[in-house]
C-alpha cells in the first residue's frame, strides 16, 4: 500500500507541483525584465500621446494655411479685409507677411504692419533657407503643403513659413505667431480632450524647469514622465505627467499585481494537488480496508459454519448417546447459528446504510426495557463465555423518541465488542442514566482498551485496530461501530468514549431527552 501512495504522491509532485514551482520561479526570476518591458510599453503609449498632439498642431496650422490661401484668392488684392479678419481671429497670430518666389515683399496683414528692419531680417532668413523653401515648392507642386519654422525665435515670436497659390502665383507666407499663446489657447482644448484628466500635459520653454503651461491648472508641479519637442515650435518641449506616480511605479504596481495573482494561483493549485492526493490516499486506504473486510468476514462466516456442520455430523452419526452431551451439542449449534445470523444482520444493516435505504421508525422507547430484552437474547453467550454481567438501570429514566430495534442493535454491537475485546478480566457493566439533557446507555468492559490515536478511527467503516495483532486474534468486520455511529446520528445523539490501552473501555450512547429534542 505504501508504494502506490508514494507513486501517486510522486506523480502529483511531477504533474502539478513541479510545473507550478518552475513557472513561479521563472516568473519571479523574470520580474526585472518584465518590469522593463512594461515600462517600455507605457513609454510607447505616452509617446503616441505626445505624437498625436504634435500631429494635431501641424494639422491646425495646415488648416490656417488653407484658409489664408482661400482668403487671399477671394479678393483682387492679396491683403484683403477678409484676410485681416481671419488673422485677427487666430488668437496667437500677430501678423502675416507675403513674399513672391524671388523673396520680394508682396503684402502684409495687418496692412499697416511694415517694419523695414524686420522685413530685411526676414528676407535674409529666406535667402539663408533657400534650399528648404525649394523643398516646400516641390512638395507644393505635388499637392502637399509642408510647414516650417525659420529664423531666430523668442518667447513671443516664431516665424511659421508655408507656401500658397494665389492666382497662379506661388506666394511665401511668413506667419508670425506667439508660441505660448498658440499652445495655451489653441492647443489646450485638444489636449484636454486627449488626456481626459488621466494624464497631464505641460509645455516648457527650452531650459526652463517650470512649465508655462499645464493642462491641469491646479497642480502644475507634477513629476514629468516623458518630454518631447514640439515639431512646429522651435525651442519648446512638452511633457507628460501622472499625478504622484512615475512609470517605474506604474510598472511595479502591475508586477506586484501579477505576483499576487501568481501567488494566489500557486496556493489554489497546491491546495488542489493536496486535495487530490488526500482523496486518492483515502480511496486507497478504503480499498485496502475493504480487502481486509472480505478476508475477515469470510473467516467469521467459515468458523461457525465449520462448527455447525461438525456438530451436526457427529449427532447425525448417532455416536453421542448421553442426553446431556446431545443437549450441549445443540446449544453449540444454536449459539453458532446466532453468531452467523449476527454477522449476516450486520452486513445487511451496513449495506442498507450505504445505499441510504435504512429507515428508522421512531416511537416512545424505554432504554431500560431495550437493554433488558437485548440481554435476554445474549444471556447464553455471555454466561457461556464466562462473563460477569451487571446492569444498573436508572429507574426514573424518562422515555425517549427512538427506533427501538435500532437502539437494541447499537447496544448489542457494544456488548458484542465488550466480549470480543476482553481477555482475563471478564466483567461487563451496563448502566442507564440521565446526564444533562441526554438519556444514556453505557457499556463498560475491563478489556484491552483503545489507544487515543485509534479512538479517532474506530467509528469509520471497515476500520479495525491492527496493533498487537489484535485484529488477527479477534475476528471482526470493522462494521459494528460504524453502524452504531449511523444509528446515533439518526437519533441526533452522541457517543462518548473513555478508554485507554489495558484499562478497559466505556462506550456511552447519549440520546436527547424528549423535551430537548422537541424544543
Ligand atoms: P469489529 O469489532 O468487527 O472489528 P467494530 O467497528 O465494532 O469492528 O470495531 C472497530 C474496532 O474498534 C475493533 O476492531 C476494535 O479494535 C476496536 N474496539 C471496538 N470496541 C472495543 C472495545 N470494547 N474494547 C477494545 N477495542 C474495541
Q: How far is the CA of 464 from the centre of ligand 1 (A)?
A: 6
What are all long-range contacts of 223-229, with beta carbons under 8 Å and residues at least 24 apart? 225/46, 226/43, 226/46, 226/47, 226/50, 228/47, 228/50, 228/51, 228/54
pLDDT given for residue 38 in this prediction:
77
Q: How far is the CA of 458 from the centre of ligand 1 (A)?
A: 7
Q: How far is the CA of 350 from the centre of ligand 1 (A)?
A: 16
> 38: which residues sit within 8 A by CB, 6+ positions away?
250, 251, 254, 255
Closest CA to 512 of 410, 436, 431, 442: 436
Q: How far is the CA of 344 from the centre of ligand 1 (A)?
A: 18
Mutate to test the pocket of ligand 1, among 416, 417, 430, 503 (most ligand atoms within 8 A of CB): 417
Q: Sheet containing 200-205: which strands, arranged edge to edge? A: 213-214, 200-205, 236-242, 223-229
Q: How far is the CA of 423 from the centre of ligand 1 (A)?
A: 14
What is the rounded CA–CA span in Å between residue 227 and residue 202?
9
What is the rounded CA–CA span in Å between residue 53 and residue 213?
14
What is the rounded CA–CA span in Å between residue 135 and residue 289?
95
Q: Strands, DSSP E only, in 301-396?
A: 363-365, 388-392
For the CA of 476, the closest atom of ligand 1 is 3
For the CA of 346, the closest atom of ligand 1 is 3
pLDDT given for residue 245 in this prediction:
67
What is the rounded CA–CA span in Å between residue 176 and residue 158?
6
Residue bearing the CA closest to ligand 1, atom 13: 464
pLDDT given for residue 252 in this prediction:
79
pLDDT given for residue 519 in this prediction:
41
Mutate to test the pocket of ligand 1, among 387, 416, 419, 421 (most ligand atoms within 8 A of CB): 421
HSE of 378, CA atoms in CB hemisphere, 13 A: 24
> 310: which residues sit within 8 A by CB, 6+ positions away?
none
Q: How far is the CA of 307 from the centre of ligand 1 (A)?
A: 24
For the CA of 479, the closest atom of ligand 1 is 6
Buried b (16+ CB within 10 A) or exposed e, 121-144: ebbebbeebeeebeebeeebeeee
Q: How far is the CA of 446 from the centre of ligand 1 (A)?
A: 14
pLDDT given for residue 200 in this prediction:
84
Residues β-bridged to residue 388: 427
Mutate to test the pocket of ligand 1, among 481, 484, 488 (most ligand atoms within 8 A of CB): 481
Q: DSSP letter string over 96-140?
A: EEEE-TT--EEEEESTT---HHHHHHHHHHHHHTHHHHHHHHHHH
For the CA of 463, the closest atom of ligand 1 is 10
Residue bearing the CA closest to ligand 1, atom 21: 417
> 355: which residues sit within 8 A by CB, 6+ positions away?
none
Pocket of ligand 1 (CB under 6 A): 417-418, 420-421, 445, 447-450, 458, 463-465, 470-471, 476-482, 505
Q: Which residue segments constitute the domains of the chain, with CATH numbers given?
A: 80-177 (3.30.450), 181-244 (no CATH), 361-518 (3.30.565.10)
Is the Cα torsion angle 308, 311, 314, 316 positive or negative in sign?
A: negative
Is the Cα torsion angle 305, 311, 313, 315 positive or negative in sign?
A: negative
Q: Other C-beta atoms within 10 Å of 190: how many?
A: 16
Q: How far is the CA of 368 from the centre of ligand 1 (A)?
A: 24
Q: How far is the CA of 361 from the centre of ligand 1 (A)?
A: 27
| Joined grid coordinates for residue 478 | 470493522
| Joined grid coordinates for residue 134 | 525649394
Instruction: Provide the residue-wise pLDDT of the chain in tens; the chain has 519 residues.
Output: 567 778 888 888 888 888 888 888 888 888 778 778 877 887 888 888 889 999 999 999 999 999 888 888 887 777 677 788 888 888 888 889 999 988 999 888 886 667 778 888 889 999 999 999 999 999 999 988 999 998 777 788 899 999 999 888 899 999 999 999 999 999 999 888 888 777 788 898 988 888 888 887 765 555 666 788 998 898 899 888 776 666 677 777 888 888 899 889 989 988 998 999 899 988 888 888 888 788 878 888 888 899 899 999 999 998 888 889 899 889 889 888 988 888 898 888 888 888 888 889 999 999 999 999 999 878 878 888 899 999 999 999 999 999 999 999 999 999 999 999 998 899 999 999 999 999 999 999 999 999 999 999 999 988 888 776 565 577 788 899 999 999 999 999 999 999 999 899 999 999 999 865 444
Amino acid at each position: 500500500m505504501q508504494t502506490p501512495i508514494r507513486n501517486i504522491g510522486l506523480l502529483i509532485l511531477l504533474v502539478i507541483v513541479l510545473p507550478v514551482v518552475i513557472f513561479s520561479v521563472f516568473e519571479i526570476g523574470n520580474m526585472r525584465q518584465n518590469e522593463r518591458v512594461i515600462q517600455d510599453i507605457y513609454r510607447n503609449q505616452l509617446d503616441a500621446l505626445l505624437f498625436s498632439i504634435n500631429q494635431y498642431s501641424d494639422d491646425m496650422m495646415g488648416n490656417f494655411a488653407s484658409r489664408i490661401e482661400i482668403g487671399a484668392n477671394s479678393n483682387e488684392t492679396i491683403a484683403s479685409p477678409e484676410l485681416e479678419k481671419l488673422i485677427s481671429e487666430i488668437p496667437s497670430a500677430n501678423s502675416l507677411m507675403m513674399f513672391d518666389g524671388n523673396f520680394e515683399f508682396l503684402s502684409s496683414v495687418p496692412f499697416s504692419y511694415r517694419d523695414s528692419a524686420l522685413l530685411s531680417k526676414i528676407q535674409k532668413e529666406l535667402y539663408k533657407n533657400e534650399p528648404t523653401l525649394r523643398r516646400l515648392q516641390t512638395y507644393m507642386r505635388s499637392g502637399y503643403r509642408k510647414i516650417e519654422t525659420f529664423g531666430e525665435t523668442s518667447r513671443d515670436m516664431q516665424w511659421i513659413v508655408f507656401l500658397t497659390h494665389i492666382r497662379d502665383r506661388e506666394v511665401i507666407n511668413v506667419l508670425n505667431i506667439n508660441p505660448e499663446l498658440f499652445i495655451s489657447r489653441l492647443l489646450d482644448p485638444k489636449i484636454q480632450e486627449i488626456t481626459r484628466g488621466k494624464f497631464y500635459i505641460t509645455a516648457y520653454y527650452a531650459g526652463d524647469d517650470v512649465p508655462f503651461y499645464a493642462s491641469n491648472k491646479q497642480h502644475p508641479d507634477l513629476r514629468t514622465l516623458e518630454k518631447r519637442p514640439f515639431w512646429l515650435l522651435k525651442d519648446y518641449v512638452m511633457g507628460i505627467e501622472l499625478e504622484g506616480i512615475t512609470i517605474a511605479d506604474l510598472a511595479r504596481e502591475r508586477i506586484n499585481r501579477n505576483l499576487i495573482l501568481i501567488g494566489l494561483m500557486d496556493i489554489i493549485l497546491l491546495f488542489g494537488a493536496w486535495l487530490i492526493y488526500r482523496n486518492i490516499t483515502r480511496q486507497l486506504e478504503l480499498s485496502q480496508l475493504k480487502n481486509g473486510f472480505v478476508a475477515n468476514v469470510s473467516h467469521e462466516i467459515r468458523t461457525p459454519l465449520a462448527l455447525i456442520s461438525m456438530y451436526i455430523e457427529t449427532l447425525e452419526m448417532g455416536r453421542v448417546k448421553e442426553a446431556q452431551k446431545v443437549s450441549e451439542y445443540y446449544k453449540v449449534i444454536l449459539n453458532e447459528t446466532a453468531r452467523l445470523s449476527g454477522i449476516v444482520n450486520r452486513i445487511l444493516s451496513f449495506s442498507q446504510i450505504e445505499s441510504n435505504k435504512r429507515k428508522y421508525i421512531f416511537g416512545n422507547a424505554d432504554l431500560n426495557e431495550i437493554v433488558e430484552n437485548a440481554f435476554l437474547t445474549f444471556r447464553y453467550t455471555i454466561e457461556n463465555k464466562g462473563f460477569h454481567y451487571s446492569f444498573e438501570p436508572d429507574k426514573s429514566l424518562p422515555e425517549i423518541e427512538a427506533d427501538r430495534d435500532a437502539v437494541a442493535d447499537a447496544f448489542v454491537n457494544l456488548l458484542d465488542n465488550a466480549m470480543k475485546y476482553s481477555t482475563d478480566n471478564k466483567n461487563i457493566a451496563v448502566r442507564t442514566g440521565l446526564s444533562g439533557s441526554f438519556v444514556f446507555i453505557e457499556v463498560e468492559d475491563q478489556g484491552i482498551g483503545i489507544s487515543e490515536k485509534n479512538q479517532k478511527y474506530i467509528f469509520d467503516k471497515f476500520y479495525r485496530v491492527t496493533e498487537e495483532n489484535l485484529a488477527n486474534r479477534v475476528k471482526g468486520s470493522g462494521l459494528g461501530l460504524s453502524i452504531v455511529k449511523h444509528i446515533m446520528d439518526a437519533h441526533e445523539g452522541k457517543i462518548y468514549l473513555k478508554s485507554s490501552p489495558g484499562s478497559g473501555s466505556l462506550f456511552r450512547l447519549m440520546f436527547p431527552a424528549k423535551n430537548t429534542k422537541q424544543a
